[in-house]
Amino acid sequence: MALTKIDCHLFRGADAQLETSSYVVVNPHWQPGRVVFVGACAVRQGVGSQVAYKLSIQHFLEGVLSYFASLNGGGEPRSEEKSLKVLEEAFRSANTAVHEFGLKLAAGGRMASSLLGLVIENKVIAAARAGEGAAYLFRDGSLFPFFGDKDELNKVTKDPALGSFVGAQLQIAVELVSVPIEPGDKIFVFSRPLHVRSQGLLCNAASELRTEATELQDFNEVQLACEELFERVCADSEDLEFAMAANVGPEALYLWKRVPTGLIE
């Protein structure tokens, strides 16, 4: 049995015309049950930071495709390791490209971007961020953040500016986490950490949703409720550049290989 149905809903903030952020959602395998999301925001005003976030997304996706291509013909790592390694390769590719481009323009350290990535692959979800961004998993009536408090992270690194954004330094500090996904899971991704009020709205409203959908009809009903919840939270957070909600469907048999009719008796 596989988790082949993942429905996504996307939100674009009011800055869509300001050229300060963007996002992309792709399926690198062209197979069900797999999603790659990447979103990036400029962290400074000016053309340099606008170029940085665009390069971040472009080279993040190149890193994802390059990693998956490298697995062809070889033994694949475990699902948990694969999901994390995909993100590691993608962030490395993005950081190197932005940093080197900044050096060519004598703008080293000034071209920087906030980057948030998410990979759903073979019943595992992995998330990573450099800079701002937030992701939550809703399961069994509880809301779990993927990342720790940003202030606590800054205390650990001592220098919050050191490698905290893509392209700012030659090496980058990336928060990585992965967990197995289950039928009925709901994943929420936001360009910025939610305000306390919005977090409460998300948690309270999400608790109203049923967390398990054993039949397709149930799943569709839950999906509609999830979409309404997502829109309520986004409307309450006016400073969001982008957001995504994903609802994981029930396990199912996926018939992917067609059998020639002449072979059927």
* CATH number, position 73: 3.60.40.10
Structure confidence by residue, pLDDT tens digits, 11-35? 988 766 668 899 999 988 777 888 9
Number of domains in the chain: 1
Q: Is residue 156 part of a domain?
A: yes
Instruction: Check residue 61 and give its pLDDT.
Output: 95
Side chain identity at 151, as an amino acid letter? D
Structure confidence by residue, pLDDT tens digits, 73-88? 555 555 567 889 999 9
Q: Is residue 184 part of a domain?
A: yes
**Least trusted range by pLDDT, from 37-46, 59-68, 163-172, 211-220:** 211-220
Q: How many CB atoms lie within 10 A of CB 75?
A: 5
Does residue 215 carry a pLDDT above 90? Answer: no
Q: Is residue 1 part of a domain?
A: no
Q: Which helix (H) or strand (E) holds 187?
A: strand 186-190
Q: Is residue 223 part of a domain?
A: yes
Backbone angles phi, psi at 165, to 5 degrees: -130, 150
Q: Is residue 76 part of a domain?
A: yes
Q: Is residue 55 part of a domain?
A: yes
Global confidence as pTM: 0.84
In sequence order, the 6+-apart residues with CB closer than 8 A to the CB of 200 are none
Nearest to 118 by CA among 102, 100, 137: 137
Containing structural domain, residue 143: 6-263
Q: Is residue 144 part of a domain?
A: yes
Structure confidence by residue, pLDDT tens digits, 42-97? 888 778 778 999 999 999 999 998 888 887 655 555 556 788 999 999 999 999 99
How far, CA to CA in Å, does 88 sit from each of 61, 116, 142, 173? 12, 12, 28, 11
Does residue 164 carry a pLDDT above 60? Answer: yes
